[in-house]
Amino acid sequence: MKSTALLTLMISVLPVLIVGCAPAPTATPSPTPVPVMLQYIGISCTLITAPDGTRIVSDPYSALRPTGLGRLPSDLEADVVTVSHSHFDHSYVEGVGGEPQIIQDPGAYQVGMVKITGYESYEGSPSGPSEIHNTVFVFEIGEVKIVHMGDGGVITPPDLLAAIENTDVIIVNVGGYVLPFDQFMAQMQQINARTIIPSHYSISEDARFNIWATVDEFLETLPSDVVVVREGSEI
């Protein structure tokens, strides 16, 4: 599969690690921290793997996709698939193997060591929330908090703001439509997002998909003091 690069905007450095063990006797070495692994697959699709092996795929996309982005991996399997909304680029659950539990409605769920909470929201637009329902998902794995916005726009309800604030990692649409560029950083600072993973963008200017901006066009809108770290597809 041809995969787009994972780009993280480091607001501050916070290792995404899990220890989660009771204090050991002084004669026993401390346990080695086990990482929470997050892989960006494309559009808004991500794979989260918890230290206990629980695998969560969010927003799998269909065969209709940006030029330059491969199909979903043929061996992609999960215990859970979360779907933020029913659009084709977020809801291709048939592309994920392993007989996963499908979660698309607001509510609280527990799968393995992962606490999953879905919050009702609406797809964003330049003029504000639309009438299209969108579920924002919060994944809590030990002390690690990951927020997947789907196509959620600017968040204003106090209860939802409280649920997503102080997140370690947020996966957010940077195509420029659902969350306009001139409101992006204010929203990220409001919720104190520490690590931002851009999603839902065109691969290049020459192969623009719909009206999505490229990730480089998005980066040009950011303040100069935002630290940008380019990585592979997995952190």
Whether the predicted pLDDT of 154 surpasses 90: yes
Confidence of residue 7 (pLDDT cuts 50, 70, 90): low
For 122, residues 6+ apart whose C-beta sits below 8 A from its C-beta are: 129, 130, 131, 132, 133, 134, 152, 153
Sign of CA dihedral 46, 197, 233, 37: negative
Extract the runs of DSSP E, i.e. beta strands, from 43-181: 45-49, 55-58, 80-82, 101-103, 107-111, 114-122, 133-141, 144-148, 169-173
Range of lowest pLDDT (4-8, 105-109, 116-120, 150-154): 4-8
**60 burial via Cβ count (<10 Å: 0-12, 13-18, 19+):** buried
> Is the overall model pTM greater than 0.75, yes or no?
yes
Share of the chain above pLDDT 70, in %: 86
Residue 65: per-residue pLDDT = 86
Residue spans of the domains in the chain: they are: 9-15+33-230
Decide if 170 contacts 58 (C-beta within 8 A).
no
Confidence of residue 51 (pLDDT cuts 50, 70, 90): very high
Residue 52: per-residue pLDDT = 96
Alpha-carbon separation of residue 156 from 83, 105, 164 (angstroms) = 22, 20, 11
Q: How far apart are CA 168 and CA 125, in angstroms?
A: 25
Tokens for 17, please give them. Answer: 């690690």
As its CATH architecture, domain 9-15+33-230 has 4-Layer Sandwich (3.60)
Residue 12: per-residue pLDDT = 36
User: If you search the block for the tokens 């919720």, which residue do you land on?
Assistant: 191
Residue 9: per-residue pLDDT = 64
Q: How far apart are CA 180 and CA 177, in angstroms?
A: 6
Whether the predicted pLDDT of 27 surpasses 80: no
Q: For the chain, first and last CA: distance in Å?
A: 18
